[in-house]
Structure 1
């Protein structure tokens, strides 16, 4: 029997956790907090109409923002409440989902649209086209039990289009060390093109407690 993922264990023990998370970000938005630094960083790397995977998309704030910036966005998350909220937020902002001839949701939508899917990002992404960019923000990788981070990085590398890249950010004091992360990168055949300390691309130093990496296949 497969063990539940860490996030599933958290929400099973505390059924209100996901709702509080959603409401927290609603309150931050209402207070004028800037929630789109990650989306701006990702957008700066892309041509219009690029295929973007938001891995661990949560309630969809980044996915919807990137769709509004004319990208083809797929938001993946293991939490069904987040997927439902992402679809609600998309509709609220007038962002459509692409539907195929058979009435089913396309796995990769058209430019300016988003597809939200409940998925375990430690498993193959199964997309019909390669991703120009895979974004993993919000400390998502630190919520994956070992060997989950390594599996995610391997499947992310496999899902990239030719010349595609990954941008990932997480705190270095959350139980997933920089040394282990770099070992997992090597095992996945990924290299660091650029490393920063924030989503505003401030320089990374030995004192940094957060890392934002731009990755590519070796």
Structure 2
């Protein structure tokens, strides 16, 4: 039985230091998601906390491309962010497709409520496609 390994990446060294202090053990890296280049491939990638909406518009697709590059062939990426933050859900899904990721499941909350056209939040579970 394999154990799960976790870790994280943030451009802010203060946040990485806090993560290391609060959760020792996982690998925490200071870095830009748009330039991420690790030798590892992951079964699961989680991008929560409106990260996609906080990115500069010019880096959104490159971040999705880096997620796709780091995803195992049968892995999944779960990305969640809210509406009204400058990144329309349709634009995000188009960027994901352009980056080689396709939706497996679209939800309106992290507690698995169905996504509808009026949803104020999107959780997209994506795979390579």
Task: Provide the secondary structure at the position in 2 that maps to 1:186.
Answer: helix
- Aligned-residue CA RMSD (Å): 1.3
Counterpart in the other structure of 2:107 = 196
* 1:165-215 deviation digits (Å, cap 9, x = unpaired): 100000011000112112201210110000000000001112111000100
The number of residue pairs the alignment matches comes to: 129
Give TM-score, length-normalised by structure 2: 0.94
Counterpart in the other structure of 1:211 = 122
Decide which of 111, 116, 120 is 2:28's aligned counterpart. Answer: 116
Decide which of 74, 80, 92 is 1:169's aligned counterpart. Answer: 80
Dislocated runs of 4+, deviation >6 Å: none
1:53-92 correspondence to structure 2 within 5 Å: 71-91=4-24
Higher relative contact order (CA 8 A, sep 6+): 2
Distance, in Å, in 1 between the alignment partners of 2:57 and 2:79 is 17
The yes-or-no answer on 1:147 pairing with 2:61 is no
User: Any unmatched runs of 5+ in structure 1?
Assistant: 1-46, 50-70, 97-113
Distance, in Å, in 2 between the alignment partners of 1:201 and 1:141 is 19
Is the Cα contact below 8 Å between 2:73 and 2:128 reproduced in 1? Answer: no
Give the direction of change, closer, same or farther, for the CA distance of 1:82–1:187 in structure 2 (3 Å limit). Answer: same
Distance, in Å, in 2 between the alignment partners of 1:154 and 1:216 is 12
Task: Provide the secondary structure at the position in 1 that maps to 2:21.
Answer: helix
The structure richer in strand per residue is: 2
Work out which of the two has the higher radius of gyration on C-alpha atoms and give 1 or 2: 1
Is the Cα contact below 8 Å between 2:45 and 2:71 reproduced in 1? Answer: yes
Give TM-score, length-normalised by structure 1: 0.57
